[in-house]
Each structure stands twice: as structure tokens, then as C-alpha cells.
């Protein structure tokens, strides 16, 4: 008998360990990738699922929330239904079905000059684009993704190319499966790209999607990126976006969270060159017993960067909204200008909102600020609209839409913004009036 | 020109060291053996002539402490403390408990005189002219014992009890038993549990129903002995409708070793009562290379137990090598109020991790947090705070403002607020900024003929004005001077 203490694993952790041993022989990648998978899984197993005492995950205790882990998806799903959540938005479409890139279901028109490859090809070639950014993150879900990633898509925009048609990366889950996907997007110097990332799946299917996207944005490039998380109502969504932005580049990102039972969306933005600007926006609309957590990390590693963050959340029913934001200004990163705002609107007695906006600053010549508010609909505003003859439901919808629109419009892309605002209006139309 | 000469003198003083309370009083003292064990806990309890229940209370805390580990979540770094390498009890030999002023060792009186804390009742607290009608009662704590408490008789006439806690345990056991450990339980956290086991002295204040305490109460803490830790315990109870304002000050000699100060402060405010608690913390911060200094690991918490009660914390933190301190308010009573005003100045290699917790439990509770952090030199200054509204805390309101000012490019300023609302009608607002002193402000002052140090002092004092205004007058003047001194040498 050895006397070493036994580490207790939750049933979910045990299932994950079994899933890894069963799958590792079949997962794509060369010898280097295979070795990295083992290292990553060991690292994950040592720490286990993040829990209450894991500071970055304190409001999303996966050890308690993730009771079981569904099986891996079958090679070919029984039926494929891909909903169009953004009618009216002209875009090319790359479909990732159950974590695997499907050229047969995709539409690449308008993407001349853009290189689109399945992730398996990159892994088999040991391409260094995979893990270039995610490898630097110390996060259990990213580490787990590194061990288990089965597919995804790689997009490369050559320098100087202006891609005008929006590109949708559509993640579709066909049932109650565990999905691990990794996408890699590379935008060359001076190029431009508009991305819409969507996440959907059927209701009542307890799927777990762990999806990591790495985006390297070159100098002077301009990228607009909107994420729409509209998973099925029993799903668990664990999404991470790691971005590095080059000198004088501009990066605008919007996260709209409305689906899934439990969701966590993480964005980590690192400044790789001076005079880059990033706008990071979020709109969360949840009800029932939904739990939506947004984690944001902005790393001003170089001087002269600017960032704007605006995150809005509307919680109805017994929903739990969470925002954790962190702006880091590294030693020597002078003249940084960072402003972060987060606002929560509670529509019901039992809803809750937790925020932790952090500033970590090691340079003196900076301007950084953050703000946070939490409350209910302003009675005065409501009264004003009622006195103008608007029915209560309509007045509330108007106020809530206006509240969310500020964040959605921050993206600065009219077509995408309009499509996302429609989703907000539909969500509001679907909920009952306040008592 | 005299002004120039003054500046030169000032700068010269910085070269040596600007901490002016760093002297040692040479006094014979009585110490417990080094280290911590059940026997030491018994020793301390016996020294204080404590009743059996108190000893049991301490021992239970000690046993609990043995099972606990040090917290590591704060943004502070220091070598591991060897808790067996400390003296947990040290008292000047000549004093057998605070009796009358005439029995106190003149050496001790001289020490307090030197610190600007007159203990003779005819005198008043230093500093302000024209304040002769204002009197402050002082409890002077030297290492592990309270040496004297002034104005006791006069306070007694008003019904106010103000004495050393060791005395209260003997004289007013029922009151102490009823409230001790009810705000900060013995199991609260590593340092609070340690304090519960070995606390030596501190102040006890009881203000009966409807009484407005006739004068400011104050405790002055002094660490003198080498290698000792100071573990004081303060308990303040304001009965229904009572009011009390309490001040706390502290200093220590300059030593190249780190000394531990782990205090616990508990405040209880019943219906309509108000407690105002002010601290000017000026423990020795270590020398310019970061050697020595006090580790200030303090648990302070107020319980607004009654409806419409109010607890207000004001702190000026300029000393200590490491500060780890979160004066908090539990807003239990309906319509109760909590306030937190803080100025934390760090220079040299100081590390400050301080903030507050406002826990809204009752209806229509209100809280306000104003925190100003100033980091200079190679210091790190963190604000860490929690504002939470319980499900039943309808109508709760909070306003938080934390600003940080950075002086120099080697220091760090951090803000880590936690905001948790479980009630729709709770309205929370939080704002924070970080910046440096604007060049145009500095230029304006310079061209008016101020030196750059004076200009910085002026601007910083403007920056912290919101908080200084909350301090009792005598302390406000002192605090303003303290801030200028702490920042000396930070402008280069």
C-alpha cells in the first residue's frame, strides 16, 4: 500500500479522464501535438475543475455545477438542423458541426484570397499557429481544450486584404455531446475582417461545448468580431477567445450571451504593438435559472494602447449574471488609456448580479478608470414613458433595449449591430412583463 | 532665503530617515518565554488574572488556530512568519495594571510625551491651538499592557465605561461575555483566531442607552520590545441611541526585523446608535531598502445590529511594511448605515492591501466607500473591497469611489472590488480611477513659487480632502502632516 493521499475527483472529472484515455489515440495531430495533449491533461488533472476557491472562477464553480459530462459526438449526427439566427445579415459561413469543420455545409463565397483549413490539417503538420496564444493562458478550460481538441477551423487573411463580406463561424451542436473545438484566425498586416461567431444547439440537450479561439491580428489590421451565444436551454457553454493585437491595429469585439443553462465566456486581449485600440463590448440577456459569466482580461503589455470596455447585463427570473474584468498595465506601459464600465439591470426579485472589475497598474503615466452599477429599471424613466401613454410592457422593452443597445452599437458595425439588436428585441418580446 | 534653506533641510532629513517615532524606550520588561503553546496561552491568561471562562475561550481559539493555514489571497509578499520565534507577551516591569497616573513609570510617561500623547489629564492632545476646551480620554497601551487610562472618573459619571479590556474582563464580565467574539468570531480567519488565543490588551468601551459620550476616546498603541508581536483587542458597544467617537493611533521603534501586529476590533451599534472609529496608523514602515517594519494584519468589523444605527470607519494608513486590513460593516438593522473613508499612502517598499466590506442584510441600508490610494517609490497599493446585498436587503444603496494616484514609475496601484447584488431594488454604484499627478497642475504650483515637494503635498492633500474631512479635528491636522512626511523623497 502506498501512503500517498488520494486526490478525490468529481464524477465529471472521472468521466473526462476516461474520455481522454479513450480518445487520445484517435485525436488528430503529429507526435508533438500528442505529447502536448498528455502534458495538458496531466496539468488539468492536477488542478481539476475550477471551483469557488479558484479566484478567476469564484462565481462559476464548475466542480459543483458540472455534475456530469456527456459522451463524445458520433461520427455523423442523426439530423442536421442549422438555424439562421441572423436573417438579413449577408455573410459567408464556416460550419463547425459537433466540433468538426464541415466544408460540405459551409459557404465560402466572397472569401477569395482567404485561406480556410480544417484544424486537423494544422495539427497533423504541427502548425505553430495552434497554441500560440492559448498556450500562454493558465486556465483549466483552455488546458482541457488543448488536451481534447478534435477539430475546428483555421482562417488566414493575407496582409493587405480587405475582406468585406462578413464571415460566420457557426458552431452547431447536434445533441447532448461533449464538444472540444479550437479555431485559429490570423489576420495579416493592414488587412481587415468581420467575424460573427455563433453557438447554437437544440433545447433540452445537456451538451458541453468547450471552444477556444485564437486570433492573431497584425499591425494596422482592422477586425470586427461579434460573438452570439445562443445555445440550447440545457447546454453548458465554455468559450474562450484569446487575441493578440498588433501595432496601430483596431479590434472591436462584442459578446452577446442569451442561451445555455450555464455559460462562461472568456476573452483575453494582449497588446502586441503600440498605438493599438480595442473596444470590448458585451450584452447579456438571461432569465429562468440561467447562469452567465463573462470574464475579460486586457493586458496592456506595451505603451500607448487604448481600450474601451462596456458590458451590460439584463437578468430576469432567477438568473445569475456575472462579469469579471481585469485591466493590467505592465511596468513601462506608459500613456495607456483604459476605461471599463459594467452595468447590471435586475428585472426580477430573485435575479442576481455579481461583478469584479479589477485594475492592476504598474505604470504611472496612465489614465485608467472603471465603473460598475447594479439596479432595477429607473422608476422615473418608466413613469415618464407611462405618462406618455405607452403600455407598461412596451415602456419596459424600450428602456431595456436602449440599455443593451449602447453596448451593441459600440461594435461600430451597422449590419451586425442591427442583426444583434433584433435578437435583443426578440428576447424581450418573449419574456413576461414585470409585475 | 529661508524657504530654500527649509527645503534643503527637509531633503537632508529624508536622506537619513523620515520616521520620527523610531526611538526605543529603555525600560525593563517582563516577557513570556518565546514561542506559542497552550502554556503560553495559560501564562497570558494568568498574567491578566482572567476568569476560567476566558482561558477556555482562548484555548479553544488556540486549538482552532493550529488547524488553520495563513491566507495567501492578498497581494502582499513576505517571507513566512515563524510563529514560534515571537514573544507573545511583554509588559513594562514597573506597571501592575493601570491604576493612577502617579504610579506609572516616568520613563513611560516621557515616551508618550515624546510621541505627543500627553497622559496628564490637565493637558490636551497636541497640535491645535484654540482647542483647549476639547478633551480626549486616552488609553495608552505599551507592548502587551495598558499603562494608563485617563479621564476614567469623569466618563464614569456619564455612565461610559472606558478601560483596558483586561480590566473589563475582570470588572464587567457579563458585558464582555455577551459581546466578545460576536462580531469577529474566534473562527473568523487565521490572524483573528491567533489574536483570540493570545490577545494581551486593548480598549473596552461601553456607552449606555441614550448617552452621547462627552469626549473623544482614544487608544495609543506602542510596540517597544524587540521580537514581540502585539495582539490587541478592542470592543466598543454603543447601546440604543448612544454616540461615541473613538480614535486610534500607533507607532513603533525602528528595527531591522519585522514585527507582527495582529489586532481585532469589534464594534456593536444597537438601535439608533452611532460609532465613529478613526485610525491613524503609523507603524514603522521599514527603511529605504525595505528592511524591517511592522506586519499589520488586522481584522476590524462593525455590526450595525440595531435599526437606524451607523458605523463609520475613517483610516489614514501611512505606516507598516505590510498592511492587510479591511474594516467592514455588517448592515443588519433596517435603515442602518456604514461608511468607510480611507487614505492609504505607501512609499519605499511598503505593501498595502486594504479596503472594506459592506454587507447589506437589512432593508433600506446605505453605505458609502471613499478610498484614496497613493503609491510612491517601489510600493504596491491595493484596494480590495466587497459590497453585497442579501436577498432581503431591498432598497439598499451603495456608492463607492476609489481613486489611486501613482507617483513614480516603479510603484503599482490596484483595485479589486467585488460587487454582489441579490436584490433588484438594491442600487450599487462603483467608480474607480487611476492616474498620476497632472503635469499642468504641478506646473501651475511650481510657477507660483512652490517647490516640487510642496506642490506634490498640496495636490495630494487636495486629492485626499474628502477623507481628511471625516477625521476629528486634532487628527485631521496630524494626518495632513503625516501624508506630506510619508511622501517626502518620492518626487525626483
| DSSP letters for B62-101 | HHHHHT------SS---PPP-GGGSBS-EEETT-SSS--G
Classify residue A405: in a domain, yes or no. no
The region that residue A113 occupies, defined by phi over 0 for left and psi between -120 and 50 for alpha, beta otherwise, is: left
Q: Give me the pLDDT at residue B18, please.
A: 61
* pLDDT for residue A79 is more than 50: yes
What's phi and psi for A31, nearest 5 deg?
A: -60, -40
Rounded CA-CA distance B285/B334 in Å is 40
Rounded CA-CA distance B199/B166 in Å is 10
Q: Looking at the DSSP assignment, which residues form a beta bridge with residue B278? A: B247, B314
Looking at every residue in chain A, the average pLDDT score rounds to: 92
- Average of pLDDT values for A225-240? 96
Interface of chain A toward chain B, CB-CB under 8 angstroms: 55, 331-332, 334, 344, 346-376
Rounded CA-CA distance B296/B259 in Å is 9
pLDDT digits (tens, 9 = 90+) for A332-345: 999 999 999 999 99
pLDDT digits (tens, 9 = 90+) for B102-132: 666 777 777 777 766 666 554 444 333 333 4
Residue B274: which of B337, B216, B203, B365 has the closest Cα? B337
The partner residue sitting opposite B424, judged by closest CB among A334, A346, A358, is: A346
Classify residue B390: in a domain, yes or no. yes
* pLDDT for residue B4 is more than 60: no
Complex ipTM, two decimals? 0.86
Q: Give me the pLDDT at residue A282, please.
A: 97
Q: Nearest-CA residue of chain A relative to B393?
A: A349
Q: Give me the pLDDT at residue B99, please.
A: 52
Classify residue B192: in a domain, yes or no. yes
Cβ–Cβ below 8 Å for B436 and A365 = yes
Determine the angle formed by the axes of helices A414-430 and A392-410, rounding to 10 degrees. 150
Cell of A405: 443597445
A178 or B147, greater pLDDT:
A178
Q: Give me the pLDDT at residue B33, please.
A: 83
Classify residue B279: in a domain, yes or no. yes
pLDDT digits (tens, 9 = 90+) for B30-39: 778 888 889 9
Q: Give me the pLDDT at residue B6, please.
A: 45
pLDDT digits (tens, 9 = 90+) for B234-251: 999 999 999 999 988 877
Cβ–Cβ below 8 Å for A369 and B432 = yes
Q: Give me the pLDDT at residue B237, please.
A: 96
Cβ–Cβ below 8 Å for A371 and B418 = no
Classify residue A343: in a domain, yes or no. yes
> What's the domain count of chain A?
1
Cβ–Cβ below 8 Å for A354 and B436 = no
Q: Which helix H or strand E contains A62, and what residues bound it? A: helix A62-65
* B328-331 vs B357-360, strand pairing mode: parallel
pLDDT digits (tens, 9 = 90+) for A84-127: 889 889 999 999 999 999 999 999 999 999 999 999 999 999 99
Tell me which residue range forms the domain holding B319.
28-487
Q: Give me the pLDDT at residue A36, please.
A: 94
Classify residue B303: in a domain, yes or no. yes
Cell of B381: 497599493
Cβ–Cβ below 8 Å for B417 and A374 = no
Rounded CA-CA distance A22/B425 in Å is 51
Contacts of A375 in chain B (CB under 8 A): 421, 424-428
Q: Give me the pLDDT at residue A7, please.
A: 59
Let me know the angle formed at the C-alpha of B223 by B219 and B226, rounded to the nearest 5 degrees.
170
Q: Give me the pLDDT at residue A210, please.
A: 97
Rounded CA-CA distance A95/A358 in Å is 36
Which one of A300, A336, A361, A373 makes the best mutation probe of the B interface by having the most chain B beta carbons within 10 Å? A361
* pLDDT for residue A204 is more than 80: yes
Rounded CA-CA distance B200/B415 in Å is 34
* A115-118 vs A153-157, strand pairing mode: antiparallel
Rounded CA-CA distance B80/B82 in Å is 6
Residue B112: which of B221, B259, B226, B199 has the closest Cα? B221
Q: Give me the pLDDT at residue B490, please.
A: 60
Rounded CA-CA distance B363/A22 in Å is 55
Q: Give me the pLDDT at residue B135, please.
A: 63
* pLDDT for residue B7 is more than 70: no
Q: Cα dihedral sign for A31, A33, A35, A37?
A: negative
Cell match 493570545: residue? B198
Classify residue B7: in a domain, yes or no. no
Classify residue A425: in a domain, yes or no. no
Query: Helix or strand or coil: residue B339?
Result: strand
Nearby residues of B89 by Cβ (< 8 Å), 6 or more positions away = B31, B32, B40, B43, B44, B47, B144, B198, B200, B228
Q: Give me the pLDDT at residue A147, please.
A: 96
pLDDT digits (tens, 9 = 90+) for B73-92: 888 888 888 888 888 888 77
Cell of A158: 493575407
- Average of pLDDT values for A415-435? 81
pLDDT digits (tens, 9 = 90+) for B445-485: 999 999 888 888 888 888 888 777 777 776 777 777 777 76
Quick one: pLDDT band at residue B492, thresholds 50, 70, 90?
very low
Q: Cα dihedral sign for A381, A383, A389, A394?
A: positive
A364 or B326, greater pLDDT:
B326
Classify residue B465: in a domain, yes or no. yes
Rounded CA-CA distance A416/A432 in Å is 27
> What's the domain count of chain B?
1
Looking at every residue in chain B, the average pLDDT score rounds to: 83
Cell of B488: 517626502
Let me know the angle formed at the C-alpha of B346 by B6 and A342, rounded to the nearest 5 degrees.
130
Residue A265: which of A308, A205, A311 has the closest Cα? A311
Q: Give me the pLDDT at residue B468, please.
A: 79
Rounded CA-CA distance A355/A347 in Å is 17
Tell me which residue range forms the domain holding A330.
11-377
Question: Measured in whole angstroms, how far is the alpha carbon of residue A95 from the centre of its chain?
Answer: 17
* pLDDT for residue A73 is more than 80: yes
Task: Kindly report the nearest CA distance between residue B132 and chain A, in angstroms.
Answer: 44
* pLDDT for residue B268 is more than 80: yes
Considering only CA atoms, give the Rg of chain A: 21
A378 or B141, greater pLDDT:
A378
Residue B267: which of B234, B290, B298, B294 has the closest Cα? B234
- Average of pLDDT values for B272-280? 92
Q: Which of A256-265, B21-30, B226-235 has the lowest mean pLDDT?
A: B21-30
Query: Helix or strand or coil: residue A370?
Result: strand
Classify residue A137: in a domain, yes or no. yes
Q: Give me the pLDDT at residue B328, please.
A: 95
Classify residue B402: in a domain, yes or no. yes
Classify residue B170: in a domain, yes or no. yes
Q: Give me the pLDDT at residue B103, please.
A: 65
pLDDT digits (tens, 9 = 90+) for B313-367: 998 888 888 999 999 999 999 999 999 999 888 888 899 999 999 999 999 999 9
* pLDDT for residue B147 is more than 80: no
Amino acid at each position: 500500500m502506498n501512503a500517498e493521499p488520494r486526490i478525490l475527483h468529481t464524477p465529471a472529472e472521472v468521466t473526462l479522464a476516461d474520455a481522454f484515455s479513450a480518445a487520445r489515440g484517435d485525436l488528430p495531430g503529429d507526435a508533438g501535438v500528442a505529447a502536448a495533449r498528455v502534458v495538458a491533461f496531466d496539468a488539468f488533472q492536477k488542478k481539476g475543475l475550477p471551483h469557488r476557491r479558484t479566484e478567476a472562477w469564484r462565481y462559476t464553480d464548475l466542480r459543483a455545477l458540472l455534475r456530469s459530462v456527456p459522451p463524445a459526438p458520433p461520427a455523423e449526427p442523426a439530423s442536421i438542423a442549422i438555424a439562421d439566427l441572423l436573417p438579413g445579415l449577408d455573410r459567408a459561413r464556416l460550419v463547425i458541426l459537433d466540433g468538426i469543420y464541415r466544408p460540405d455545409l459551409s459557404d465560402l463565397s466572397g472569401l477569395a484570397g482567404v485561406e480556410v483549413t480544417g484544424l486537423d490539417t494544422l495539427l497533423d503538420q504541427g502548425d505553430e499557429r495552434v497554441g500560440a496564444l492559448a498556450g500562454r493562458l493558465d486556465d483549466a478550460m483552455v488546458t482541457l481544450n488543448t488536451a481534447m481538441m478534435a477539430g475546428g477551423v483555421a482562417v488566414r487573411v493575407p496582409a493587405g486584404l480587405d475582406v468585406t463580406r462578413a464571415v460566420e463561424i457557426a458552431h452547431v451542436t447536434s445533441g447532448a455531446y461533449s464538444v472540444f473545438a479550437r479555431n485559429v484566425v490570423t489576420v495579416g498586416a493592414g488587412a481587415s475582417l468581420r467575424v460573427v461567431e455563433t453557438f447554437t444547439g437544440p433545447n433540452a440537450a445537456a451538451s458541453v461545448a468547450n471552444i477556444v479561439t485564437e486570433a492573431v491580428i497584425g499591425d494596422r489590421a482592422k477586425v470586427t468580431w461579434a460573438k452570439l451565444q445562443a445555445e440550447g436551454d440545457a447546454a453548458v457553454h465554455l468559450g474562450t477567445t484569446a487575441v493578440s493585437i498588433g501595432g496601430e491595429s483596431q479590434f472591436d469585439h462584442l459578446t452577446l450571451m442569451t442561451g445555455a443553462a450555464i455559460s462562461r465566456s472568456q476573452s483575453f486581449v494582449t497588446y502586441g504593438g503600440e498605438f493599438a485600440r480595442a473596444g470590448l463590448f458585451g450584452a447579456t440577456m438571461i432569465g429562468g435559472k440561467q447562469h452567465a459569466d463573462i470574464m475579460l482580461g486586457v493586458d496592456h503589455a506595451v505603451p500607448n494602447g487604448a481600450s474601451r470596455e462596456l458590458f451590460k447585463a439584463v437578468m430576469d427570473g432567477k438568473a445569475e449574471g456575472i462579469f469579471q474584468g481585469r485591466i493590467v498595465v505592465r511596468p513601462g506601459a506608459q500613456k495607456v488609456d483604459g476605461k471599463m464600465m459594467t452595468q447590471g439591470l435586475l428585472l426580477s426579485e430573485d435575479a442576481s448580479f455579481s461583478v469584479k472589475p479589477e485594475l492592476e497598474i504598474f505604470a504611472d503615466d496612465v489614465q485608467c478608470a472603471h465603473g460598475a452599477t447594479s439596479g432595477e429599471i429607473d422608476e422615473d424613466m418608466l413613469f415618464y414613458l407611462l405618462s406618455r401613454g405607452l403600455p407598461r410592457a412596451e415602456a419596459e422593452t424600450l428602456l431595456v433595449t436602449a440599455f443593451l443597445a449602447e453596448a451593441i452599437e459600440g461594435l461600430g458595425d451597422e449590419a451586425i449591430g442591427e442583426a444583434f439588436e433584433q435578437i435583443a428585441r426578440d428576447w424581450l418580446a418573449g419574456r413576461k412583463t414585470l409585475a | 532665503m529661508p524657504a530654500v534653506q527649509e527645503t534643503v533641510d527637509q531633503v537632508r532629513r529624508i536622506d537619513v530617515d523620515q520616521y520620527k517615532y523610531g526611538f526605543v524606550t529603555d525600560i525593563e520588561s517582563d516577557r513570556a518565554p518565546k514561542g506559542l503553546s497552550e502554556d503560553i496561552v495559560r501564562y497570558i491568561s494568568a498574567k491578566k488574572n482572567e476568569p476560567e471562562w476566558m482561558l477556555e475561550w482562548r484555548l479553544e481559539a488556540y486549538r482552532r488556530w493550529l488547524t488553520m493555514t495563513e491566507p495567501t489571497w492578498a497581494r502582499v509578499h513576505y517571507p513566512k512568519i515563524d510563529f514560534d520565534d515571537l514573544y507573545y507577551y511583554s509588559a513594562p516591569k514597573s506597571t501592575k495594571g493601570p491604576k493612577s497616573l502617579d504610579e506609572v513609570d516616568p520613563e513611560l510617561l516621557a515616551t508618550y510625551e515624546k510621541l505627543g500623547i500627553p497622559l496628564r489629564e490637565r493637558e490636551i492632545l497636541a497640535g491645535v491651538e484654540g482647542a483647549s476646551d476639547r478633551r480626549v480620554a486616552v488609553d495608552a497601551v505599551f507592548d502587551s499592557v495598558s499603562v494608563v487610562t485617563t479621564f476614567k472618573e469623569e466618563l464614569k459619571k456619564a455612565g461610559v465605561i472606558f478601560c483596558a479590556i483586561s480590566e473589563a474582563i475582570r470588572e464587567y464580565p457579563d458585558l464582555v461575555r455577551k459581546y466578545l467574539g460576536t462580531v469577529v468570531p474566534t473562527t473568523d480567519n487565521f490572524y483573528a483566531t491567533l489574536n483570540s488565543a493570545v490577545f494581551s490588551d486593548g480598549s473596552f468601551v461601553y456607552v449606555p442607552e441614550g448617552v452621547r459620550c462627552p469626549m473623544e476616546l482614544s487608544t495609543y498603541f506602542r510596540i517597544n520590545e524587540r521580537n514581540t508581536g502585539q495582539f490587541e483587542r478592542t470592543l466598543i458597544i454603543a447601546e440604543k441611541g448612544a454616540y461615541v467617537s473613538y480614535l486610534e493611533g500607533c507607532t513603533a521603534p525602528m528595527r531591522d526585523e519585522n514585527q507582527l501586529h495582529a489586532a481585532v476590533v469589534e464594534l456593536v451599534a444597537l438601535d439608533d446608535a452611532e460609532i465613529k472609529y478613526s485610525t491613524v496608523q503609523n507603524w514603522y514602515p521599514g527603511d529605504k531598502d525595505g528592511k524591517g517594519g511592522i506586519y499589520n494584519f488586522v481584522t476590524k468589523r462593525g455590526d450595525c445590529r440595531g435599526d437606524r444605527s451607523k458605523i463609520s470607519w475613517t483610516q489614514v494608513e501611512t505606516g507598516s511594511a505590510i498592511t492587510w486590513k479591511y474594516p467592514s460593516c455588517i448592515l443588519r438593522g433596517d435603515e442602518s448605515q456604514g461608511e468607510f473613508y480611507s487614505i492609504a499612502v505607501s512609499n519605499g517598499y511598503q505593501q498595502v492591501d486594504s479596503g472594506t466590506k459592506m454587507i447589506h442584510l437589512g432593508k433600506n441600508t446605505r453605505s458609502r466607500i471613499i478610498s484614496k490610494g497613493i503609491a510612491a517609490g517601489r510600493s504596491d497599493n491595493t484596494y480590495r473591497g466587497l459590497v453585497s446585498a442579501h436577498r432581503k436587503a431591498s432598497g439598499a444603496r451603495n456608492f463607492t469611489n476609489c481613486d489611486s494616484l501613482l507617483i513614480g514609475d516603479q510603484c503599482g496601484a490596484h483595485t479589486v472590488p467585488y460587487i454582489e447584488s441579490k436584490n433588484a431594488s438594491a442600487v450599487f454604484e462603483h467608480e474607480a480611477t487611476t492616474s498620476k499627478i497632472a503635469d499642468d497642475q504641478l506646473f501651475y504650483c511650481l510657477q507660483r513659487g512652490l517647490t516640487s515637494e510642496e506642490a506634490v503635498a498640496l495636490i495630494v492633500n487636495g486629492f485626499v480632502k474628502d477623507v481628511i474631512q471625516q477625521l476629528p479635528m486634532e487628527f485631521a491636522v496630524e494626518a495632513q502632516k503625516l501624508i506630506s512626511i510619508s511622501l517626502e523623497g518620492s518626487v525626483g
